Amino acid sequence: MNHHNGQPNAFQSVSSPDYLPPNQLRALQLQRLQAIVRRAYEHQDLFRSRLEERGLTPDCIQDISDIAKLPFMVKTDLRDTYPFGLFASPMDEIVRLHASSGTTGKPIVVAYDQHDLDVWSNVMQRTFAACSVHPGDIVQNAFGYGLFTGGLGAHYGAETLGATVIPISGGNTERQIMVMKDFGVTAVCCTPSYFVHVIERARELGVDLKSLPLRVGIFGAEPWTSQMRQHIEDEAGIKAYDIYGLSEIIGPGVASECDAQNGLHVFEDNFLPEIIDPTTGTPLPDGEEGELVLTTLNKFAMPMIRYRTRDITNIIAEPCSCGRTVRRIRRISRRSDDMFIIRGVNVFPSQIEAAILAIEGTLPHYQIILTREGGLDQIEVQVEITPEVFSDTISAMEELQRKLANSIEHTVGLRVKLHLVPQQTIERSMGKAKRVIDRRQLAE
């Protein structure tokens, strides 16, 4: 069945850009950086006006290090220019739009032209290759399909590689396990916490994942730990790889682990990574920890120059045992703002706040509690009862509970466990309630 066992890290020609000699790679990066800065300057009003304020033109890029002269872009830039403000291609060239939720309920929209989709398929194909997936593998894609970039991104990558794709999307764990077993699935893609849940459910159902042909797990869209990886690898008998990406840049496909499982290779021919001090914005040398900043070198419909990801990591410039020459970033375990990621969805406390406000009219004290039960991330929102909304009938209180849960689901796209609690139950420190309690123990 599996004829790849003997050579798990076989070179696949699609991956050749990962092995470019560093000087060639730098030359390619410079050439693409100059072109993309020019494109953004010509088509993105926001970028041009920021350059003009600094008295700069695209000609200021003579060396890769000149990138430090350029202004940063941040998430709010996407919201402020919503929906089309950062599009650098005319609408008739755009063939795909994705969206993610933002802090105010307004989505953030990203656009792709055919070239961008091809680049995306290419980097995802290289992601699968780095995770030792080969043509002929059967890939069960349990990332959610839709506006979220995870599902379709992984789908096209696996399909382009020549693997068989089962586009099962998220949810219905029992069916996931049945399909895994009945189809002889060899690779699975999902969030790591969901896979831990799959492991538990399989045990309950009496399915031994280790006896299945499943060989590879490709996990991303949320932070996870080495302990979780160990658990997954031991319990499912697979090799578990971490992948990284974000929709503002392209979706999944920015960086991926290789067989060495020691840092994620950035697909540097398409994305230029920098590390900065999150407070001062000063670039930091390779190896030092700071905020990851990414520049898209090869994306036409919506170039992103120096996008601040808010993810904290460091660049590993030393050569990797796999032979790839592109640099690595260390696995991301925390962020520089209050956003949290649950089941692959980015959530800001302010979104939950807006959802509660929409129902109650005023904002009661509330608290978001994140836990991991049976491997699956759970989100519970506790809301303190106020005299304005309290009723003596159970049905009215259940209705309130339901409305709050629905409102939150509409705003952030997640079903939460909603708990009404008596006044003064939620602990306050210095008069202010702590908004998010993360009990998932992610820190290494």
> Does 403 engage in binding with other proteins (CB under 8 A)?
no
> Does 416 engage in binding with other proteins (CB under 8 A)?
no
- Give the residue, chosen from 70, 108, 152, 275, that forms a contact with other proteins under the rule CB under 8 A: 152
Taking the complex as a whole, the smallest distance from the CB of residue 237 to other proteins amounts, in Å, to 22
The answer to whether the beta carbons of residues 389 and 396 sit under 8 Å apart is no
> Does 359 engage in binding with other proteins (CB under 8 A)?
no
Tell me which residue of 421, 332, 323 sits closest to 369, measured CA to CA.
Answer: 421
User: If 0-12 CB within 10 Å is exposed, 13-18 middle and 19+ buried, where does residue 330 land?
Assistant: middle
> Does 213 engage in binding with other proteins (CB under 8 A)?
no
Alpha carbons 354 and 371: distance in angstroms, whole number: 22
Ranges of H-type helices in 44-161: 45-53, 75-80, 114-130, 149-161
The answer to whether the beta carbons of residues 210 and 186 sit under 8 Å apart is no
> Does 393 engage in binding with other proteins (CB under 8 A)?
yes
> Does 437 engage in binding with other proteins (CB under 8 A)?
no
> Does 38 engage in binding with other proteins (CB under 8 A)?
no
> Does 410 engage in binding with other proteins (CB under 8 A)?
yes
Contacts of 398 (CB under 8 A, 6+ apart): none
Which residues ranging from 65 to 84 are in contact with other proteins (CB under 8 A)?
82-83
> Does 398 engage in binding with other proteins (CB under 8 A)?
yes
- Give the residue, chosen from 211, 424, 430, 431, that forms a contact with other proteins under the rule CB under 8 A: 424
Alpha carbons 379 and 437: distance in angstroms, whole number: 10
Taking the complex as a whole, the smallest distance from the CB of residue 165 to other proteins amounts, in Å, to 5
Amino acid present at 293: V
- Give the residue, chosen from 320, 420, 426, 442, that forms a contact with other proteins under the rule CB under 8 A: 420
State phi, psi for 341 to the nearest 5 degrees.
Answer: -115, 125
- Give the residue, chosen from 422, 430, 431, 432, that forms a contact with other proteins under the rule CB under 8 A: 422
- Give the residue, chosen from 150, 153, 290, 413, that forms a contact with other proteins under the rule CB under 8 A: 413
User: How many CB atoms neighbour CB 292 within 10 A?
Assistant: 27
What is the bridge-based pairing of β-strands 251-257 and 345-347?
unpaired
> Does 436 engage in binding with other proteins (CB under 8 A)?
no
Whose Cβ is closer to other proteins: residue 262's or residue 401's?
Answer: 401
> Does 3 engage in binding with other proteins (CB under 8 A)?
no
Alpha carbons 391 and 247: distance in angstroms, whole number: 43
> Does 146 engage in binding with other proteins (CB under 8 A)?
yes
- Give the residue, chosen from 38, 48, 96, 335, that forms a contact with other proteins under the rule CB under 8 A: 96
Tell me which residue of 334, 377, 371 sits closest to 193, measured CA to CA.
Answer: 377
What is the DSSP track for 151-196?
A: HHHHHHHHHHHT-EEE---S--HHHHHHHHHHTT--EEEE-HHHHH
Taking the complex as a whole, the smallest distance from the CB of residue 186 to other proteins amounts, in Å, to 11
**Per rule CB under 8 A, count of chain residues that contact other proteins:** 58
Which residues ranging from 163 to 202 are in contact with other proteins (CB under 8 A)?
163-169, 172, 174-175, 179, 182-183
Binding mask 102-141 for other proteins (x = CB under 8 A): ----xx-x-x------------------------x-----
Tell me which residue of 368, 377, 386, 378 sits closest to 433, measured CA to CA.
Answer: 368
> Does 421 engage in binding with other proteins (CB under 8 A)?
yes
Taking the complex as a whole, the smallest distance from the CB of residue 396 to other proteins amounts, in Å, to 9
Whose Cβ is closer to other proteins: residue 24's or residue 423's?
Answer: 423
Tell me which residue of 420, 376, 382 sits closest to 401, measured CA to CA.
Answer: 420
Site for other proteins, rule CB under 8 A: 82-83, 91-92, 94-99, 106-107, 109, 111, 136, 144-147, 151-152, 159, 162-169, 172, 174-175, 179, 182-183, 385-387, 390-395, 397-398, 401, 409-410, 413, 419-425
